[in-house]
Amino acid sequence: MKKILLTGSAGLIGKILRSALKGQYELIRCMDVAEQEPGGQGEEIVQCDLRDVEKLRHAMRDIDTVIHLAGISVEDSWEKILPANIEGCYNTFDCAHQAGVRRMIFASSNHAVGFHRRERFIDTQVEPRPDGRYGVSKVFGEALGRLYADKYGMQVACLRIGSFRPDNKPADVRQLNTWISHNDMIRLTKACIDHAGFHFEVIYGVSKNLRNRWDNTLVKHLGYAPQDNAEEFRDEMFAKGIKEDPVSELFHGAMYCPMEFVGDVDKIQ
Ligand code: NAI
Ligand code: 15L
C-alpha cells in the first residue's frame, strides 16, 4: 500500500485521478493552491502554493510517489509560467528528494516536442522541440526528472500528455490523433504507480487512437495498455470541418505553433 501526493488535484485531470485512485492506495494527499472538496477516507487535503517550500516539504512527509500535475496548463506569459512551472516544478522535485520520495510521475506535455513535423511519427527519444514558453517549461521538468533520476536515484516517469478533455471526447479533427480518454489516463497513471521499478522514462499520454502519431514502443515495459480509440468520434469531428492554421497543421504542437510565429517553416525540418 502506497502513500501518494497528488499535486494539482483541484484541476481537470487531478479531479478525475483523485476519484479514481481513492481507496486504491493507503493515502492520497490532495494538494492544490485552489480550494478543494473535503477529504474522505484515505484522503488528506492540503492547500499549498508550489512556491511555499516549507509547506511543500511538509506535504511530502511519508510519501512514496508524487504525481505532479500542478502548474499552468496552457501557453501563457513568462510571468505566469516562471513561478508555477519552473520554480514550482524545481521545488516539487527537490522537496520530494529531500523527503526521500522514491518515485515522481510528472505531467509533461506533447508541447515539449511540438515543433516536430506532424508528417513524421515521433518516438520517446526525439529531441526536445518546444512550441512555446509552456513547452519550454515541460522540457525543463523533463530535464529535472533526468537529473533527479541520474544523480539522486529517484524513479521518474514523464507523461507527455496529448489532449485530455472535460467532456471525455476530442474537440476537433487534430485531437483524433492526440486524445487521451479519462480511463486511459487513469490506466497510464496506475501503470506508473504500480510498476515494480524503473529509472527514467518518457511516455506519450495518448489513447489507442487509429490516427495516433506518437510511438510508445520503447516504453512497452511500463505496461501501459490503452483501450480507447478517438475514431468513434470521427464523423462528429469531421462534421465540424477542418479549420487549421497553415503553421498549426504542419506540426505536432498544432495551435501553439502559430502563436507569435515569425519564423520560417522551411527551416523547421
Ligand atoms: P488544470 O489547469 O485544470 O489544473 C492545474 C491545477 O494546478 C489547478 O487546479 C491549479 O489550481 C493548480 N496550480 C496552478 N498553479 C499552482 C501553484 N503555483 N501551486 C499549486 N497549485 C497550482 O490543468 P489540467 O488540464 O488538469 O492539467 C494537469 C497537468 O497536466 C498540467 O501540468 C498540464 O500542463 C498537463 N497537461 C494537461 C493536458 C490536458 O490536455 N489537459 C495535456 C498535456 C499536459
Ligand atoms: C496541453 O498541454 C494543454 O494542457 C491542453 O490544454 C491542450 O492544449 C493539449 O496540450 C493539446 O495539445 O491538445
Rounded-to-integer distance, Cα 192 and Cα 18, Å = 15
Ligand 2 centroid from CA 200, angstroms: 23
Strands 122-123 and 214-215: what pairing?
parallel
What Cα–Cα distance (Å) separates residue 50 from each residue in 83, 164, 173?
8, 23, 35
- Would you state the pLDDT for residue 243? 83
Nearest CA to ligand 2 atom 6: 74
Strands 65-68 and 103-109: what pairing?
parallel
Proximal ligand: closest to the CA of 12: 1
pLDDT digits (tens, 9 = 90+) for 31-43: 999 999 999 999 9
Ligand 1 centroid from CA 122, angstroms: 24
Grid coordinates representing 140 are 525543463
Question: Does residue 84 line the site of ligand 1, with CB under 6 A?
Answer: yes
Enumerate domains of the chain plus CATH numbers: 3-267 (3.40.50.720)
Question: Does residue 74 line the site of ligand 2, with CB under 6 A?
Answer: yes
Q: What is the model's pTM?
A: 0.98
| Percent of the chain residues past pLDDT 90, beyond the cut | 99
Q: What are phi and psi of 104, to 5 degrees?
A: -125, 130
The answer to whether residue 90 is catalytic is: no
**Per DSSP, what are the bridge partners of residue 105?**
67, 157
pLDDT along the chain (269 residues), means of 10: 96 98 97 97 98 98 98 98 98 98 98 97 98 99 98 98 98 97 99 98 98 98 98 97 92 98 97
**Per DSSP, what are the bridge partners of residue 210?**
none
Question: Does residue 91 line the site of ligand 2, with CB under 6 A?
Answer: no
- Would you state the pLDDT for residue 1? 80
What Cα–Cα distance (Å) separates residue 65 from each residue in 28, 33, 96, 162, 232?
10, 20, 9, 23, 34
Grid coordinates representing 98 are 529531500
Residue 53 in contact with residue 38, Cβ under 8 Å?
no
Residue 166 has, within 13 A of its CA and on its CB side, a CA count of: 2
Ligand 1 centroid from CA 47, angstroms: 15
- Would you state the pLDDT for residue 231? 98
pLDDT digits (tens, 9 = 90+) for 122-143: 999 999 999 999 999 999 999 9
Rounded-to-integer distance, Cα 214 and Cα 10, Å = 28
Residue 72: partners with Cβ closer than 8 Å, 6 or more residues away? 80, 81, 84, 85, 134, 137
pLDDT digits (tens, 9 = 90+) for 92-102: 999 999 999 99
Mutate which of 12, 90, 181 for ligand 1? The one with the most ligand atoms within 8 Å of its CB, which is 12
Please, what is the angle between helix 133-152 and helix 88-98, to 10°?
20
Question: Which ligand 2 atom sits closest to the C-alpha of 253?
Answer: 12
Mutate which of 16, 68, 74 for ligand 2? The one with the most ligand atoms within 8 Å of its CB, which is 74
Ligand 2 centroid from CA 163, angstroms: 5
Ligand 1 centroid from CA 9, angstroms: 8
Nearest CA to ligand 2 atom 4: 73
Burial of 53 (0-12, 13-18, 19+ CB in 10 A): middle
Three-state secondary-structure class, residue 210: coil
**Per DSSP, what are the bridge partners of residue 158?**
106, 202
Question: Does residue 88 line the site of ligand 1, with CB under 6 A?
Answer: yes
